[in-house]
Structure 1
Amino acid sequence: MTNIRVTRTAQIPDPLRVQRYQKAPELGPPLLFFSGGSALNGLSRRLQHYTHNSIHLVTPFDSGGSSAKLREAFAMPAIGDLRSRLMALADDSILGHPEVYRLFTHRLSAEASQATLLATLDELIAGRHSLAADIPNPMRRLICNQLGFFREAMPEDFDLRGASIGNLILAGGYLNNHQQLDQIIFLFSKLVHVRGTVRAVVNKDYHLAVTLADGRRVVGQHRITGKEVAPLSSPIAHLALSASRDEFVPVSAGLRKKNRRLIASAELICYPPGSFYSSLLANLLPEGVGRAVHANPCPKVFIPNSSPDPELTGIDLAQQITILLDTLRRDVGADCPAHELLDFVLLDSRHGDYTGSLSADFVESLGITLIDTRLVKDASASRYDPDLLATALLSLV
């Protein structure tokens, strides 16, 4: 077998190529995203109209919101971002079981008493609640059983206010499958006809920790993002994994073989917009990720945030590229050329609200190509338009 690398001139966007994917999305290309959080959900919903084969490696390190309650109760990875991405890729048409979609996206009341919420949960488990009754058997029985496993293991003081039913079902399946996420994510994907592959980058109960430029250390993703507590006042200097949310206990994680195979199968690797440290770089920390990315000769593209990110205090676009490359080089080696880890930077300088400008000379010195094209439709919002971004990415494949 002889391996050769073929290059071509790409048009951004490429209407003919995009139209071809739109006609047969089930045969669409495997685009891989390292991400987490909700920033990519809009793109994911639009992307399923072009390809049913996108791959999403999602961070399980969230330590805030409803995920924090489940993590504290069961010492498990965060599942909220996984559930959110699965729902973004789900077929919500009549063919995709919209009644299951409605159940998985439902949240319990944030104001009701614990007794009322327990009664609602028991109705769901028994299949008597309208959200469950609409689901035909044996699907209903299967879902209610997973919810029942959660109920049996639920601590007496567990706060159900605002809980996502989808998260509770995933937690029940996790507990019922020897504390493994893959089996329940696979089942979840089949139930709602997920058009793509979603997987946690690691199956570990770990947390994020950062060292700031002023020497302080902050542990816990919810303390880093600037969404639940005040944004960090000093730039982040180093990102690591911790075995504890309350104190820094350094730990390492390895990339599983099945995730390595997913990276190897990608025809385009995307470092997408979202919280730069807690959503993107967090997925690159496990040992083996950098080497897997380097081993795949497909195009690799970085899409910086087009609006302010609280995690990027004092960090401009050029520094973001340097930090991204340095994070990958932790695994693949400090002497790895930049262009073997990143081919393109994709942005819209005219309409996006970026942190600093990006010098063409700087990008060229790294052997990287800057693609500056229309990606923001509403300049007042400065957020990427899902369709413009999807078509730009598909034009690179």
Structure 2
Amino acid sequence: MNTGKSVRKKFLSKGPKIVAIGGGTGLSILLRGMKEYTSNITAIVTVADDGGGSGILREDLDMLPPGDIRSCILALANTEPTMARLLQYRFKEGSLKGQNFGNLFIAAMNEIYGSFEVAVRETCNVLAVTGKVLPVTLEKVKLHAVLKNGEKVHGESNIPLINKAMSSQIDHVYIEPEISFPMKEAIDAIEEADAIVLGPGSLYTSVIPNLLIKDMADTISAADGIKIYISNVMTQPGETDGYSLWDHVNAIIYHSREDLIDYVIANVEEIPEETLKKYSEDGATPVIFSKEDEEKLNSIGIGIIKENLIDIKKNYIRHDSIKLCEIITRMAKEKRAKKAFD
């Protein structure tokens, strides 16, 4: 048994260096699959969240929001099932109602060490995390949106709600403070990566906020690793209503630079009607791409990888993380081999 674990650990340690950038459920699903292929993973996570339990802790304790960080830590953790359940537990009654125990754990570590950076690192150590989980910045950034109707929305959690209520679209998002600096460890990981992955996840509230941090877009663009954007399977009400694949990519380019992405991974698998019906009631539709989208992407040097990537569980649509990670790992290994040959 121990020999098998040792062999597997050695195998994973030789895997490609993967940097995954984003936040929310999409990033944690990707990470859960990726740790089966390599232990050289760095998750760079947005800290713009200001809603729910994370928002309360952010306000009450003047700390960075722990929610997305917690989800990524648990995705990469190698811990007992009971511990995993404990850290996912959400209180149902009393003054702690709605709070997640894992968030409180990170908050306690933050108080003990007096540093969010150290708190995250020590939490990763306690839970035997594969790779690293890093906040993109240690500064308390706030996300704002300007809608196409001219209205401004303040706060990450308000953006999809107010935008949906106004039936507008997002023109652009920005952060305050306008100049916020990334963690050096995050920049180093990007520079050393075989592959840098954006998404999947909420376009304007999970993916793009990371690119607004000073030097992040330029560092990604200049890095030797292959740059991959994983397109969402479904549009997100209040954020990407009616968006095509090109619309997603164009929004990223608008907030960063045209040479940021080498490849887009897109789903081409049809989704069962009964599942689509549930999503359509909320206003979500499949993200599709036309020949015109493909031509636009190719014209700026972005390749498209088309694959069946749907995983439906309990009528919820998710990416098939195993298929997704197989594609990313293969591309990263090819890039590493090419670098070694050059």
Short-chain TM bin? 0.7 to 0.9
Do structure 1's residue 325 and structure 2's residue 312 form an aligned pair? no
Partner of residue 309 from structure 2, selected from 375, 387, 397:
375
How far apart in 1 are the matches of 2:66 and 2:291? 36
Shift of 1:366: 0.6
How far apart in 1 are the matches of 2:163 and 2:249? 27
How far apart in 2 are the matches of 1:206 and 1:104? 26
Shift of 1:42: 2.4
> RMSD of aligned C-alpha atoms?
2.4
1:146-166, Cα deviation, whole Å (9 max, x unpaired):
xxxxxxxxxxxxx41132222
Correspondence for 2:337: none
Does the 8 Å CA contact 1:209/1:221 hold for their aligned counterparts? yes
How far apart in 1 are the matches of 2:217 and 2:31? 24
How far apart in 2 are the matches of 1:274 and 1:231? 21
Partner of residue 126 from structure 2, selected from 191, 206, 217:
191
Indicate the larger mover: 61-70 or 356-365.
356-365
- The SS at the match of 2:331 is coil
Shift of 1:356: 4.8
Q: Aligned pair in 2 of structure 1 residues 23, 75: CA closer, same or farther (>3 Å)?
A: closer
Indicate the larger mover: 361-370 or 251-260.
251-260
Correspondence for 2:322: 387
Does the 8 Å CA contact 2:63/2:116 hold for their aligned counterparts? no
Shift of 1:232: 5.5
Correspondence for 1:295: 222
Q: Aligned pair in 2 of structure 1 residues 67, 163: CA closer, same or farther (>3 Å)?
A: same
How far apart in 2 are the matches of 1:36 and 1:259? 15
Do structure 1's residue 219 and structure 2's residue 154 form an aligned pair? yes
Partner of residue 208 from structure 1, selected from 143, 146, 163:
143
1:7-49, Cα deviation, whole Å (9 max, x unpaired):
xxxxxxxxxxxxx999812322121111111122222222211
Point out the structure with max Rg over C-alpha. 1
Does the 8 Å CA contact 1:351/1:382 hold for their aligned counterparts? no
Residues 353-368 of structure 1 mapped to structure 2, 5 A cutoff: 353-357=286-290, 359=292, 360-368=294-302
Do structure 1's residue 176 and structure 2's residue 109 form an aligned pair? no
Q: Aligned pair in 2 of structure 1 residues 189, 201: CA closer, same or farther (>3 Å)?
A: same
Does the 8 Å CA contact 1:316/1:355 hold for their aligned counterparts? yes
Shift of 1:294: 1.6
Correspondence for 1:160: 96
Q: Aligned pair in 2 of structure 1 residues 165, 350: CA closer, same or farther (>3 Å)?
A: closer
How far apart in 1 are the matches of 2:163 and 2:298? 38
Which portions of structure 1, spanning 4 or more consecutive aligned residues, are displaced by more than 4 angstroms?
20-23, 228-232, 377-382
Q: Aligned pair in 2 of structure 1 residues 356, 161: CA closer, same or farther (>3 Å)?
A: same
- The SS at the match of 2:214 is coil
Shift of 1:385: 1.0
Taking structure 2 as the reference length, the TM-score comes to 0.83
Correspondence for 1:105: 88
Shift of 1:355: 4.7
Correspondence for 1:143: none
Do structure 1's residue 85 and structure 2's residue 72 form an aligned pair? yes
How far apart in 2 are the matches of 1:229 and 1:65? 18
Correspondence for 1:146: none
Taking structure 1 as the reference length, the TM-score comes to 0.72
**In structure 1, what residue type is equivalent to 2:287?**
Y
Does the 8 Å CA contact 2:30/2:325 hold for their aligned counterparts? yes
How far apart in 2 are the matches of 1:75 and 1:318? 38
Shift of 1:326: 2.2
Q: Aligned pair in 2 of structure 1 residues 232, 258: CA closer, same or farther (>3 Å)?
A: farther
Question: Which ranges in structure 1 are unaligned for 5 or more consecutive residues?
Answer: 1-19, 114-158, 243-249, 330-337
Does the 8 Å CA contact 1:225/1:275 hold for their aligned counterparts? no
**In structure 1, what residue type is equivalent to 2:88?**
T
1:278-328, Cα deviation, whole Å (9 max, x unpaired):
000011111110111022121111111111212112433212212212222
- The SS at the match of 2:265 is strand
**In structure 1, what residue type is equivalent to 2:133?**
V
Q: Aligned pair in 2 of structure 1 residues 375, 177: CA closer, same or farther (>3 Å)?
A: same
Give the number of the structure whose residues are more often strand, by fraction. Answer: 2
Q: Percent identity?
A: 28
Correspondence for 1:30: 17
Does the 8 Å CA contact 1:304/1:317 hold for their aligned counterparts? yes
How far apart in 2 are the matches of 1:240 and 1:382? 29
